[in-house]
Amino acid sequence: MQTKIIKTIKFITSNKGKFEELKKMFENRGIKLKMLSLDLPEIQEVDAKKIIEEKLLVAKKMGYRNIIVEDTSLYISALKNLPGPLIKWFLRALGPGGIFNLVKDAKNKNAKAKTMIGFLDSKGKAYFFEGVVLGKVVSPKGKSGFGWDFIFAPKGSKKTFAQMTKEEKNKISMRKKAFLKLIKFLKS
């Protein structure tokens, strides 16, 4: 396999916290990560890969290469894997407590937290990497976190993401799993 020599990658995000979390991971492996705050249109779709593909296509048409875009979603079994990438809109309309109320009487409260990453290389070819954390939807708990962190408890944990320290969450994070796959690909 041919070695990919990539020294710098741009991460398209406006979320500084997300960027800082990943910057250290990349730099510890010899790759510089830069934040690129670029407002790309986001199609409404239940398939995260299609959303990422569209964002990469738009960025490619704008002349960008060696870039990353990502989507982190919550798939709830009792809701037939909704909201998925539509989680932002569910949270805006219902809040974490409202989402829990949709499934509180369901027997199956299982959920999957997924991060889908798209990487566009220097030649304009797209690659995709996914990280998954299995868990369940619980009543809102915790003081810190964002979005659905308050209602998602990873499998084997009595804590929600919102109850965990940043270090605890990052240790098992679906985002970390996906980005480690990307880094392994870049280093291969």
Bond preceding residue 85 cis, omega within 30 of 0: no
Does some domain include residue 2?
Answer: no
Does some domain include residue 44?
Answer: yes
pLDDT digits over 113-129, tens only?
A: 999 999 999 999 999 99
> And the tokens for 71?
């989507």
What is the rounded distance in angstroms from the CA atom of residue 35 to the CA atom of residue 20? 9
Q: Where are the alpha helices (DSSP H) in the chain?
A: 16-27, 48-61, 87-103, 166-172, 174-187
Task: Tell whether the model's pLDDT for residue 66 goes beyond 80.
Answer: yes
In contact, 87 and 102? CB cutoff 8 Å? no
Does some domain include residue 92?
Answer: yes
Give the number of other CB atoms < 10 A from CB of residue 155: 12
- CATH number of the CATH domain containing 88: 3.90.950.10
Where in the sequence is the domain holding 100, given as residue range(s)? 8-187
Mean pLDDT across the chain: 92
Does some domain include residue 130?
Answer: yes
Q: What is the pLDDT of residue 187?
A: 83
What is the pLDDT averaged over residues 22-36?
89
The predicted model scores a pTM of 0.90
Q: How many domains does the chain have?
A: 1
